[in-house]
Amino acid sequence: RCQSSLCYSLVFTMVVGSNNFLTLLSLSSLVLCAQSLTPVALHNSPSRVAACSSSSLFMSDWSSFSALDDDDDLDMAVDTREYAKEEDSQEMKAEVGASLEAPSIENDAEPISVPAGSQLAMDEETVLGVLSACREEIGTLFGYSAENRGVGITGGVDFVEMDGPVVVLRLKGRFWHQRTTVLDRVSNYLQQRIPEIIDVIVEDEWQLTDEANEVF
């Protein structure tokens, strides 16, 4: 009905276009017709259907797409090796551990074994020597022995640098204890023998996370 009215109005305007009153009347009819046409005709118009389809596309479920890992994650090797059980014999643990490489030691030095409460001077050579003794005396934390590696303890600790009165270390490998606990134990060992050490930290806070414990 509206489309017919629109056609009649246009024809009417063309025929009597010279009459201003009739022209105004025809424009009014055109506006009324367009207003009545919009809710009905546009509801099912091809453009509206296309818009709805496009909207549905952009609101699709993306759950089937997996997130891309960071480039750094691609370089990490997760430890999936099988180890001996805690209840296995020491021989079995040692046999399994012997097949695994011990953690490397960077900047190794002769152990300086002194009791807690000693007053050693703070210099790099002394720190390296006390750290070497620490690896032996609290060795159950680390993977330097075949028995420990046999049950999955492959972690190690390295000296990185001294930043004034702060000693910077590196933790690597897998530990049974929380990595923060390992750092605390090493820190206490060093500070009880070299009291000038103010703090002992790791070079990267990520090394204290659970994620770091599964990477080797």
pLDDT digits (tens, 9 = 90+) for 53-82: 444 433 444 444 444 454 444 455 566 666
Predicted local confidence at residue 114, as pLDDT: 97
Predicted local confidence at residue 96, as pLDDT: 62
Predicted local confidence at residue 152, as pLDDT: 84
Q: How many residues does the chain have?
A: 216
Predicted local confidence at residue 170, as pLDDT: 98
Burial 156-179 (b: 16+ CB within 10 A, else e): bbbbeeeeeeebbbebbbbbbeeb
Number of C-beta neighbours around residue 203 at 10 A:
13
Closest C-alpha among 176, 183, 185 to residue 208: 183
Predicted local confidence at residue 127, as pLDDT: 98
Regions in the chain scoring below 70 on pLDDT = 1-82, 84-90, 92-97, 216
Is pTM, for the whole model, over 0.85?
no
